[in-house]
A and B are shown apart, each in its own frame.
Chain A
Amino acid sequence: MENKAIICKDLTKQFGDFKAVDKITFDVDQGEIFGFLGANGAGKTTAMRILCGLSYPTSGEATVAGFNVYKEQELIKKNIGYMSQKFSLYDNLTILENIEFYGGVYGVSRAEIKARSADLVHTLGLEKEAKKLVGELPLGWKQKLAFSVAIFHRPKIVFLDEPTGGVDPITRRQFWDMIYEAAASNITVFVTTHYMDEAEYCNRISIMVDGKVEAMDSPTNLKQRFNTHSMDEVFYQLARGAKRSGD
């Protein structure tokens, strides 16, 4: 049990008659890269909000980093990192200020922030830019920095919501190098994406359709089961019949 980063059992979220998330059951190992896929409107965002401690489920059970999603939301927030394509860093703070801000919010000590941010800036090769505003950075750099900031407080799990949308193909791959590195240091990576080649980089993926998890396995096994060579086709076969299509 203790090496499970996320455990979900029959997790459900209902808005009136509408079951946004409908009895989903899965678990994610510590250090695993888990791809959370689904069509638009399938319920991914709602499920992710529950797992991040931002929303209560209607029924079912779930623990994240060992904490209960009903009773221990604040502990969940402290033990996870989060980054999305839409929002990640403050454009009008410098790189160092952003790191300091996030480190501070997550309760990392001043001395630690100082030491770790020097390391981080060095690893990313951003020494020259450290005192520049984040808004001036190219998108690719911003996304790489955002990811580093999201795991700055060494969370057990990091949630990535379409982290590579719109990024060039080389940077996209460098971003995945960083994901692999994080997973190798035993951080669990929970990631959503619309790029099917990225689904292949995950240890396991789940595909949600109309609120339910319709498939969950390693990419290789899924392709085998659907008798195809491409994840695109697996996704298409599963999601084609979806009745819902949301934002």
Chain B
Amino acid sequence: MIAVSVKNIVKSYGNVSAVDDVSFDVKKGELFGLIGPDGAGKTSIFRILTTLLLADSGTATVAGFDVVSEYQQIRNRVGYMPGRFSLYQDLTVKENLTFFATIFGTTIQENYTLIKEIYDQIKPFNDRRAGKLSGGMKQKLALCCALIHKPDVLFLDEPTTGVDVVSRKEFWEMLAKLKEQHITIVVSTPYMDEARLCDRIALIQGGKIMSIDEPAAMVKNFPKTLFAAKADNIYRLLEDLRSDPSIESCYAFGEYLHLTLKSDEDHKDAIFAVANKYSPANLVVEKITASIEDSFIRLMRDRAITKEFNQVNDGK
């Protein structure tokens, strides 16, 4: 059963192409992530799917309804938490919740089980105005408001942006629990480490989807052997390895560098041999499994290379 279906959606603003021929399906009950930086087209896709924006071309359905001809049915069946905070700052916690429930012709009580666990955490502040809540509490209230009418599909646009590690972790724990209640969730994030918490993800950049898969499958399909290296002077090592002709790619990744070789050599001794030319102090090399961020960088790089190649072929 398909909850969201997107086919060849295109959206431009003037001559800026925001969504460039995007297609994907989200299964019912799935937690689907759109992973990409600002300007990738994530918000435009959300706005098209929540019927707030018309696509230039292409089609999409949400909960089986067409986003253009059946937009009213969709609006009653989705919950939407936009990236920018969307609550009424002058209303209290309780008033906000009651307001959203009333709009959707329901009551707080009717679907109470759905929000209970999240609502319990903000209930002590029932009479506080939303504008006076902390960031984490606002986020919880917004989620409650988006859930109050028991939507078929929940759209969360960058719910964790600018939020610290602890609150991010808590938020994803809430999503995991909602999933158990069979709500389809489409969530976007610029944090690559959150990708692994989704059932399936689409990596998106510059309005185009670069890859769609389960997170585990995506990293498994990383096309090269990936190595991690570090030494006392990591920045020096980065510059040396990056300029070395036998190294294909070299990026900083926390305390390590992640690198691939141009050759298909897959033993770490190969990296030792290359790096030792520059005699780094306390060199450590390991063979590692790729992360989603490694895959993302790889795909971005491949696309940039293809683009250059096409430009050369176009005679530019």
Contacts and interface: CB of A to CB of B under 8 A. Distances in A.
Interface string A226-243: 000011100110011010
A245 B165 contact: no
B38 A167 contact: yes
A239 B252 contact: no
Interface in A170-220: 170-171, 173, 176, 180, 194-197, 200-201, 219-220
A246 interface: yes
B210 to A, nearest CB: 11
Nearest to B160: A194
Interface string B287-307: 000000100110011000000
A10 interface: no
Nearest to A241: B166
Interface of B: 36-40, 134-137, 161-167, 169, 190-193, 205, 235, 251-255, 293, 296-297, 300-301
Given A197-B254, A201-B252, A247-B134, A242 B166 contact: yes
A160 B36 CA distance: 23
A167 B136 CA distance: 23
Contacts of A196: 165, 254
A170 B300 contact: yes
Contacts of B235: 180
- Chain A interface size band reads 35 or more
A139 B255 contact: no
A169 B293 contact: yes
Contacts of B190: 165-167
Given A167-B37, A169-B297, A232 B192 contact: no
Contact of B255 (A138, A194, A200): A200
B301 A170 contact: yes
Given A166-B161, A167-B38, A236-B165, A245 B300 contact: no
Contacts of B297: 169-170
B228 to A, nearest CB: 12
A201 B234 CA distance: 9
B135 A194 contact: no
B134 A173 contact: no
A166 B39 CA distance: 9
Given A166-B37, A245-B134, A245-B135, A173 B164 contact: no
A194 B162 contact: yes
B252 A194 contact: no
Contact of B164 (A166, A194, A231): A194
Contacts of A170: 251, 297, 300-301
B289 to A, nearest CB: 14
A25 B2 CA distance: 56
11 contacts: A38-B164, A39-B166, A40-B134, A168-B37, A170-B301, A201-B254, A231-B254, A235-B164, A235-B166, A236-B165, A236-B169
The 9 closest A-B CB pairs, nearest first, are: A166-B38, A168-B37, A200-B254, A197-B254, A245-B136, A200-B255, A39-B164, A245-B134, A247-B135
Contact of A246 (B40, B134, B205, B301): B134
Contact of B165 (A166, A176, A232, A244): A232
Nearest to B138: A247
B134 A168 contact: no
A245 B161 CA distance: 15
Given A169-B297, A170-B297, A40 B251 contact: no
A194 B161 CA distance: 9
Contacts of A246: 134-135
Contact of A240 (B166, B254, B301): B166
A114 to B, nearest CB: 31
A61 interface: no
Nearest to A237: B166
Contacts of A169: 37, 192, 293, 296-297, 300
A239 B162 contact: no
A66 interface: no
Given A173-B251, A200-B255, A239 B296 contact: no
Contacts of A173: 251-252
A162 interface: yes
Nearest to B292: A169
A165 B134 CA distance: 20
